[in-house]
């Protein structure tokens, strides 16, 4: 059975390797980005580069968006909808607020277009290797139709109706954001107390404290390598969305609030740094102590 035609919108740090994998797997792929130069990198993978958003989505079976935030998704959706075919499916793999995902679902349904919110976790390495964790919200029928596409990008799980994918992503980002700060505190404590922080990390990797965050970002902190992967500004956006979702259901999340304040303290200067820069926020309130 031939692959569906896919319009991929948003060729950034994550979108570029994701779109490249889909084109390489044989999906007829149209690539669009607000800055067309970024999309042109996909021509070597066999993708059709579209300067016009309308040309990208016209008669496409599936539209995949990987954009900066809910505002960007909403604006792109409004511009694209008049050219979309009824019965097509929009798969938003960006990270947005839960209420935004519900609004997108309603907006598309009103035009006869189906919707899955399917944010991802795994960062640029996961996108490059096809090992993203994909959390999808929507109908079972639409999810099953999208499974061949998801299989190229990683492992997908349907977690509930429309909007639920964004809830799952927020839960993921809550754990990631808080754990990054906890790992930074642990390694800085080891440094300040006279232990070898690299040896401490090695010693605890196999115990209950072991995690992907300790494995990858703990090493980044030791190396003082803050070239992005995931960016401070993106982590902060997600944590703010977590607090907004918690507010909607009357929850107080003190650890999330503390992690949010930590990232806010470095946003202006280090917004584009890797989110392992949680270490730098911690060092600023502990003058004279420096890891690595």
Q: How far apart are CA 281 and CA 37, in angstroms?
A: 34
Nearest to 95 by CA among 275, 216, 285: 275
Q: Is 133 in the same domain as 193? A: no
pLDDT on residue 229: 81
Range of the domain at 274: 167-284
Catalytic residue among 131, 169, 233, 237: 169
What's the structural domain count of the chain?
Answer: 2
* pTM score, whole prediction: 0.88
In tens, the pLDDT along 152-179 reads: 999 999 999 999 999 999 999 999 999 9
What does residue 200 show for φ and ψ, rounded to 5 degrees?
-65, -45
Residue 123's pLDDT band (cuts 50, 70, 90):
confident
d(CA 231, CA 274): 4
Instruction: Tell me the C-alpha distance between 90 and 10, whole Å.
Output: 13
The share of the chain scoring above pLDDT 90, in percent, equals 96
Same domain, 25 and 83: yes
Contact indicator for 145, 89 with CB cutoff of 8 Å: yes
Q: Is 169 a catalytic residue?
A: yes
List the structure tokens of 54. Answer: 């309308």
Domain finish residue from 161, 183, 201 = 161
Whether residues 62 and 83 fall in one domain: yes
- Using left for φ > 0, alpha for ψ between -120 and 50, and beta otherwise, residue 58 falls in beta
Q: Are residues 149 and 185 in the same domain?
A: no
Residue 146 confidence (pLDDT) above 90: yes
pLDDT (tens digit per residue) in 62-97 = 999 999 999 999 999 999 999 999 999 999 999 999
Distance CA(272)–CA(178), nearest Å, equals 19
């Amino acid at each position: 059975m031939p692959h569906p035609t896919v319009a991929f919108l948003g060729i950034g740090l994550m979108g570029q390797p994701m779109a490249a994998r889909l084109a390489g797997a044989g999906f007829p792929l149209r690539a669009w980005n607000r800055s067309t130069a970024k999309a042109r990198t996909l021509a070597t993978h066999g993708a059709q580069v579209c300067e016009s958003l309308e040309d990208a989505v016209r008669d496409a079976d599936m539209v995949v968006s990987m954009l900066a935030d809910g505002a960007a998704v909403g604006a792109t959706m409004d511009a694209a909808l008049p050219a979309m075919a009824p019965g097509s499916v929009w798969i938003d793999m960006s990270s947005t607020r839960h209420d935004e995902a519900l609004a997108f679902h309603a907006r598309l349904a009103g035009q006869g277009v189906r919707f899955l919110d399917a944010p991802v976790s795994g960062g640029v390495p996961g996108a490059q290797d096809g090992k993203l964790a994909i959390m999808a919200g929507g109908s079972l029928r639409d999810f099953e139709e999208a499974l061949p596409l998801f299989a190229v990008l990683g492992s997908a799980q349907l977690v509930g109706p429309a909007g639920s994918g964004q809830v799952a992503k927020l839960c993921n980002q809550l754990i990631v954001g808080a754990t990054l700060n906890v790992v930074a505190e642990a390694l800085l404590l080891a440094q300040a107390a006279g232990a070898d922080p690299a040896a401490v990390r090695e010693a605890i990797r196999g115990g209950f404290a072991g995690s992907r965050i300790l494995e990858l970002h703990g090493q980044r902190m030791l190396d003082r390598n803050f070239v992005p992967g995931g960016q401070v500004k993106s982590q902060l956006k997600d944590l703010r969305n977590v607090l907004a979702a918690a507010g909607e259901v009357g929850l107080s999340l003190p650890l999330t609030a503390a992690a949010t304040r930590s990232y806010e303290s470095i946003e202006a200067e280090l917004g584009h740094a890797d989110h392992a820069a949680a270490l730098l926020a911690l060092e600023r309130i502990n003058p004279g102590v420096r890891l690595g």
